[in-house]
Structure formats: structure tokens, C-alpha cells
Amino acid sequence: MPETFRAIAPGRVNLIGDHTDYAGGLVFPMAIDRSTVIEFLEADATSLVSADVEGDGWLRYIEAVRGLVPGARAVSGRVATTIPIGAGLSSSAALEVAAALAFGFRGSVVELAQLSRQAEHDATGVPCGIMDQLCIAAGRAGHATLIDCRSLELTHVPVPDSVKVVVRFIASRTLEGSEYATRVAECGAAEAIVGPLRDAALRDLVAITDERIRRRAVHVVSENARVQSFAAALSSFDFGLAGEIMLEGHRSLAENFDVSTAAMDRAVREIAETPGVYGARMTGGGFGGCVVALCEPDARVDGWVVEASAGARVVRN
Ligand code: GLA
């Protein structure tokens, strides 16, 4: 019997730091206990099937990855996932990272993430940042990952047992054809005026006369600061403060960045008013997807409790 393997890649939820990665900013996601698994063996020709991913849209990610992995080996196997698709929990990034590992990618977690991000660009044309792929490649059980998207430095920060993270699905979405690419361009327009947003202070942004571009920049600059204060609040068990920072972050994504929806705003308000909830915000690219909440362990919030999980890996069956 030939040896069979499993390439496993988790989904991710972003605790804070959205729409900052492509501007060289800070993000604070965690890998979750839902994953995509490719069970495979080496073969003469590549053939992958999936029982629970509908349609064949997923194959374009596989093809994009295969084209990028140097000396990709041929594998035969099946793809299965417990990550809801189109929910903003990085099902496509998980598929890319799992596929790269199945095709025999060798290199650092940063290189794995860079290749997988390139595959996303090639497959969909969405000019995404590196957060999803890097969190998925590098996650550590029990920790969220603070990522500096400029230096690609990673800091694993423990998620205390005395809080639980709940995710509520609001609406399916795809970033393809959304205003995601417009936001990336708007941040570029702001940087053309004030230089890297990562280095800018809020007071520098008065130089931006276009009101819409200025709001985009205000979001990125303030969100970078929120990532740092949130990570510090979590580490010092100041969950009340952490929750307030999440709510502020949500307001900024809604009002400055225009990537929330009425349903997401309602869900954030409703969840935040629930006893035992410290704070909530939309998570990921927006225009639908999920809301994430930080709660006391016995808070009663509709949604899934997610555990901070290990990053991608290959295991022998
Ligand atoms: C999507 C992208 C990420 C990031 C988020 C917003 O998930 O893939 O690179 O830009 O949106 O934070």
C-alpha cells in the first residue's frame, strides 16, 4: 500500500486589524479549529476530488498553487473542509496553503504564505494582503498571531482561557467583484500623498483633501494603533478594554472604510448588549461574512465558539 498523508490547513478569524495588511500594517488573527484537509498519496498524475465543496470553482485555486510550487509533485486524493465557504473565514487561503503542502512545497512559513497569497491573486484577481495565508501557515494552538505585515515578523500571543471567542455567520460573500480592490487603491492614493500609512500619524492626514480618501487613511492609521492596544489589553486580562477596542474598530470599518453592512452592524450591536460579552466587530474583508465576539466563558451568544488552533501541517495517515 502506498503511504497516504493529510495536508491540514485551518481557517482563521481576525480578532482585530482589518484592511491594514495590504498597507504594511498590523493584524491580529487566530487560526481556528475548522480546517481544510487534503488526503493524498503520490501518483503519476494529479487528480483531486471533493465530496463537500460544491462546483469546481475550488479547482482554480489548486491549479494556481500547482503552477507556483517549484517541482510540484503529482498527487491523487480528496479535499474535505469544515470551514464554511464564503463566510470570510479564509476557506480559500486554507485550500491554497493545504494544496501547497500537498504538492510538496518546501520553505519557511513566510514563503508558504507568500506563495499562497500569489495563488489567490492569480486565481481570483483579488489583490489581497498576506494576513490570511500567514496566519494559517503559522498559527499556534492557544495563541492568536500578531503579524507586522511590513516586516512579516510574527508574535504568538496567548488567548487566555478566561475568555471565549464566538463567531456568528451573517451573510455569504465573495471579495471578487466587491469594492475590496477599490479600497486597496484608495489606500494607495492616500499613501501617494502622505507616504506609508504605517508611519503616518492621524494629524498628518489633514494633508489629504479628498474626504473619502482621508477617511480610508484614518481607518488604517487608527486600526494599526488598535491592534497594539488590543493585544496589550488581552495580555493583561483587561477584557473590558479589549472589547471596547473591538467596538471602536467596528465603527471605523463601518464609517471610515464603508465595508460593513446593515446586518453586520445590527449583529454587532445586539451581541455587544448581551450579558457577558466584552465586545464584537465584523471580521475579515467585509461586505458580508462573519462577526466575532469576545465573551466570558458562560456568555450565551448564538454562534460557534472557536478555539485558537495550530497552523498548517502535513501528517502521515
Ligand atoms: C481579506 C483579505 C486579507 C485582508 C482582509 C481584511 O480577508 O484576504 O488580506 O485584507 O480581507 O483585513
Q: What is the pLDDT of residues 151-172, one digit of tens each?
A: 999 999 999 999 999 999 999 9
Ligand 1 atom having least distance to the Cα of 120: 8
In degrees and rounded to multiples of 5, residue 99 shows phi and psi of: -65, -45
DSSP states of the chain: ----EEEEEEEEEEEE--S-GGGT-EEEEEEEEEEEEEEEEE-SS-EEEESSS-SSTHHHHHHHHHHHSTTPPPEEEEEEE-SPTTSSS-HHHHHHHHHHHHTT--S-HHHHHHHHHHHHHHHH-----SHHHHHHHH--TTEEEEEETTTTEEEEEE--TT-EEEEEEEE---STTSTHHHHHHHHHHHHHHHS-GGG--GGGGGG--SHHHHHHHHHHHHHHHHHHHHHHHHHTT-HHHHHHHHHHHHHHHHHTS----HHHHHHHHHHHTSTTEEEEEEESS-SSEEEEEEE-TT---SSEEE------EEEE-
Give yes or no for residue 243 having a pLDDT over 80: yes
The predicted-structure confidence for 102-118, as pLDDT tens digits, reads as follows 999 999 999 999 999 99
Side chain identity, residue 210:
D
Average pLDDT, the chain: 97
- Cell 474626504 belongs to residue: 211
pLDDT at position 52 is: 72
Average pLDDT over residues 198-221: 98
For residues 89-97, average pLDDT: 97
Question: Which residue's alpha carbon is at the smallest distance from atom 11 of ligand 1?
Answer: 285
Confidence of residue 16 (pLDDT cuts 50, 70, 90): very high
Verdict on whether the full-model pTM lies above 0.85: yes
From 13, 15, 18, give the residue whose CB has the most ligand 1 atoms within 8 Å, as the site to mutate. Answer: 18
**Shortest-distance Cα residue to atom 12 of ligand 1:** 18
What confidence score (pLDDT) does residue 177 get?
A: 86
pLDDT at 1: 76
Average pLDDT over residues 124-136: 97
Which tens digit of pLDDT belongs to each residue from 36-53? Answer: 999 999 999 999 999 777
Ligand 1 pocket member 119 (CB < 6 A):
no
pLDDT at 127: 97
Q: How confident is residue 55, by pLDDT bands cut at 50, 70 and 90?
A: confident
Ligand 1 within 6 A of 129 CB?
Answer: yes
CB atoms under 10 Å from CB of 235, counted, come to: 14
Active site residue 122: no
Q: Using one digit for the tens of pLDDT, what is the confidence trace for 257-292?
A: 999 999 999 999 999 999 999 999 999 999 999 999
The mean per-residue pLDDT over the stretch 240-254 comes to 98
Q: Is 65 in the pocket of ligand 1 (CB under 6 A)?
A: no
132 lines ligand 1 (CB under 6 A): yes
Looking at residue 173, its pLDDT comes to 87
Mean pLDDT for the stretch of residues 247-259: 98
**Cα(95)–Cα(101) distance, integer angstroms:** 10
Position 295 scores a pLDDT of 98
Dihedrals φ, ψ of 248, to 5°?
-60, -40
Tell which one of 21, 150, 282 to mutate to probe ligand 1, the residue whose CB is within 8 A of the most ligand atoms.
21
The closest residue, in CA terms, to atom 1 on ligand 1 is 285
Cell of 43: 501518483
Q: Give 265-308 as a DSSP string.
A: HHHHHHHHTSTTEEEEEEESS-SSEEEEEEE-TT---SSEEE--
